[in-house]
Amino acid sequence: MTRPLPDTLAGWAEAPRVRALNDRAIAAGGRYVLCWLQQALRAVDNPVIDAAIRWGNALGLPVLVYHGIREDYPYASDRLHRFILTAGRDLAAGCRERGLACVHHVDREGRREKGLVHRLGNEAAAIVLEDQPTFVARWQAERVAARATVAVLAVNAACLVPPAVLGGDIRGRSGFLRRHEPERDRWRASEAEVPSVSPFAGPLPFAPDDLEAVDLDALLVGLSIDHGLAPSASFPGGRAAAEARLRRLVDEVLPAYAAVRSDATRPDGASGLSPYLHFGVIGPREVMAAVDAAKAGAKHKAKFADELLGWREWFHWQAHGLRAPERYDRVAGWARDTLADHAGDPRPDLETLNALVHGETRDESWNACQKQFVIDGWMHNNLRMYWAKRIIAMTPSPEAAWATACYLNDRLSLDGRDPSTYGNIAAMFGSGAPGRADVPIYGVVPTRGDGSTRKRDTGPAWLRAAAERPVPRLTVPATPPVDPYLTGEPGV
C-alpha cells in the first residue's frame, strides 16, 4: 500500500526515497522532528537528515538527530561497536556544523533507557528514520512505526538510485541494469537542505552520551559485548578514515581498477570502502562524484560503477523485495533442490566450527581468506567467492552451510549484515542457470577453485603467508546461530 507523503516532501526532488510507514498525523505541539539514524551515520549527503530538515522547516520545528547503540544486537563486539561509535562521534560534530542537535545513547549497565526511541517519539511532531532492508534496522523501524502515535517516514540513504523508482518484477541483473543505468544521472546531484530553525536545545527524557568528550576505548571496556573481537587496525572507523579511503581510490586504485581488481595479492586492487558504505559513513553519491572527477581511464571508472551501482544496488533492490533477505529460502529453488538431493553425500572436507572461525582448516587457501575476516574485518572480493563456495563442502548440510557463511560474515566482517552479504552468499549457493555437471555435494551448483589466486606467480607464497597469520582466540558456539536477526527482539 502506498501512503501519501506530506506536501513539503511530496514535492521534493528526493521524494522517491521516502515512504510513509504509518497513517498517523503530525502531532500538534510536538517539540521537534525526530531523525532516528541506525546505519546512515554521516552528517553530509544524508537524505534521511535532509528529509527531516525539510519537514522541520515546513513545520517551524527543529530537527533532533538521535543515534543509539545497544549491547544486545547480534554479534555486538569491540570491533563493531568501536566502528559505530567513531562514526557516531563524527556524526555529532558534522550535525553541529549543519546547525542540528544530535544526541547519542550508549546502552549499558547503569545507563539503561528502555523504549528510548518511543519516548523521544512521544515528544516529536513526526519521526523520520531509515529505510534499511536487512538485519535489525528493518524490523526495528517497522516496530517503531507500528507503535508510534505520530507520523513516521522511512528514507532510503544507502543507494544512489532509490530502489522504489525501479519498480518491481525485474528478472536478473541485466533486466535490473536496463532500468538502473538510465536513472543514474538524475540522482548524481542533490542540494543539502538548510535548517531555518535554531538547533533544538530543550530538555530531553534521558542524559545523552557525549561521544566527542568520552574516551571511546574506555567506554568499550565497560560494555557487555564480545571483547575477543578487536577493532580492525586496517579499517578504523570515522569520517576521516572514509575520506582517506576515497582519496586512495582516486589516486591509487582507480587508475588500474579493471585490470587488478580481481588480484587479491595486490594491496592497491580494491577500494576497501565497503565497511564505510555499510555504516553509511560515506554514501554512493559522494563516492561516484569523486570517481567521475578522477583522472582514471573510462574502462576503470565503468568497472567501478558496475560494482558500486550495478552489483551493490542490485542486491539492495532484491532485499527490499524480500520479506526476509537473510534466510536460506531466498536461494534459487533449483539450487536448494540439487543441494538437498546431495545432502546425504559423504563430506570428507567437513571441518569444525572452531577451525572455520579461526581459519585453521585443512585448506590453506580457505584459511587465507578467513584470516582476512578474523584479523582485518574485511575480505577481498575474489577470495569471498572461493570462501563461500567451499563452506558448502565443509559443513554438514546446505542449511548449516548457509548459517555458517552468514555467521562468519556477519560476526567478523565490518561490512556484514548487509543486503550484499546475503545476496552474494545466495549467488554463491546458486543463481542464474544450473551448471552442466552433477557432482557430489554441490549437485548442479557450479563449484569454484582457488586458481584465480594460486595460479598467479606470487599466488602460492601469498596464500601461505596469509594463511599463517596468527589469529586471536575467539569464543565459538557449538553451532552457528540460525537467523538470529529474525528471532531476537531487543527493544528500541
User: Which range touches ligand FAD (CB under 6 A), out of 288-296, 360-368, 381-389, 474-482?
Assistant: 381-389
Among 300, 371, 384, 390, binds ligand FAD (CB under 6 A): 384
Which one among 160, 166, 331, 388 touches ligand FAD, defined by CB under 6 A? 388
Nearer to ligand FAD by Cβ, of 19 and 278: the residue is 278
Output the nine-digit C-alpha cell for 340: 538437498
| Contact between 315 and ligand FAD per CB under 6 A | yes
The site map against ligand FAD for 164-203 (x = CB under 6 A) is ----------------------------------------
Least distance to ligand FAD from the beta carbon of 387, Å?
Answer: 6
Among 86, 132, 134, 274, binds ligand FAD (CB under 6 A): 274
DSSP string for residues in 389-453:
HHHHHHSSSHHHHHHHHHHHHHHH-TT-SSHHHHHHHHHHT--SSPPS--BTTTBTS----SHHH
Q: Which of 173, 278, 320, 342 binds ligand FAD (CB under 6 A)?
A: 278
Residues 389-418 that bind ligand FAD (CB under 6 A): 409, 413, 415-416, 418
Burial of 323 (0-12, 13-18, 19+ CB in 10 A): exposed
The set of cell numbers assigned to 9 is 516532501
Q: Convert 332-357 into a string of H (helix), E (strand) and C (coil).
A: CHHHHHHHHHCCCCCCCCCCCHHHHH
- Sheet of strand 18-20: strand arrangement: 18-20, 151-155, 126-130, 33-36, 63-69, 101-106
Q: Which one of residues 104, 312, 336, 342 is an interface residue with ligand FAD (CB under 6 A)?
A: 312
Question: If binding is defined by CB under 6 A, does position 39 make contact with ligand FAD?
Answer: no
- Give min distance, CB of 19 to ligand FAD, in A: 24
In the complex with ligand FAD, the residue whose CB is nearer, 42 or 261, is 261
* Closer CB to ligand FAD, 200 or 317, in the complex: 317
CA gap 146, 217 in Å, rounded: 36
Taking CB under 6 A as the criterion, the residue among 101, 127, 164, 308 binding ligand FAD is 308
Our finding on whether 137 is near ligand FAD (CB under 6 A) is: no
CA atoms of 407 and 398, how far apart (whole Å):
14
Q: Give the cell for residue 460.
A: 602460492
Residue 103 CB, shortest distance to ligand FAD, in Å, is: 29
Q: Report how far residue 21's alpha carbon sits from residue 481's, in angstroms, rounded to the nearest whole number.
A: 30
Q: Is 331 in the site for ligand FAD (CB under 6 A)?
A: no
Q: What is the DSSP letter of 77?
A: B
Residue 273 as a binder of ligand FAD (CB under 6 A): the answer is yes
Minimum CB–partner distance for residue 280 and ligand FAD (Å): 12
For residue 22, give the C-alpha cell.
504509518
Of the pair 367, 421, the CB lying nearest ligand FAD is at 421
CB of 282 to ligand FAD, least distance (A): 10
Question: What is the three-class DSSP state of 151?
Answer: strand
The answer to whether the beta carbons of residues 237 and 378 sit under 8 Å apart is no
CB of 419 to ligand FAD, least distance (A): 8
Q: For residue 137, what are the CA distances in angstroms to 115, 208, 483?
A: 15, 21, 14
Residue closer to ligand FAD by CB (options 74, 416) is 416
Residues 414-473 contacting ligand FAD, CB under 6 A: 415-416, 418, 420-421, 424-425, 428
Binding residues among 48-77 for ligand FAD as defined by CB under 6 A? none
Per rule CB under 6 A, count of chain residues that contact ligand FAD? 28
Strands 33-36 and 151-155: unpaired
Closest approach, Cβ 380 to ligand FAD, in A, equals 6
Query: Residue 132 and residue 279: Cα distance in Å, rounded?
Result: 11
Instruction: Return the closest-CA partner of residue 454 out of 468, 442, 470, 466.
Output: 466
C-beta closer to ligand FAD: residue 120 or 385: 385
CA–CA separation, 485 vs 38, rounded Å?
A: 15
DSSP annotation of 306 reads I
List contacts with ligand FAD (CB under 6 A).
261, 270-274, 277-278, 307-308, 311-312, 315, 380-381, 384-385, 388, 409, 413, 415-416, 418, 420-421, 424-425, 428
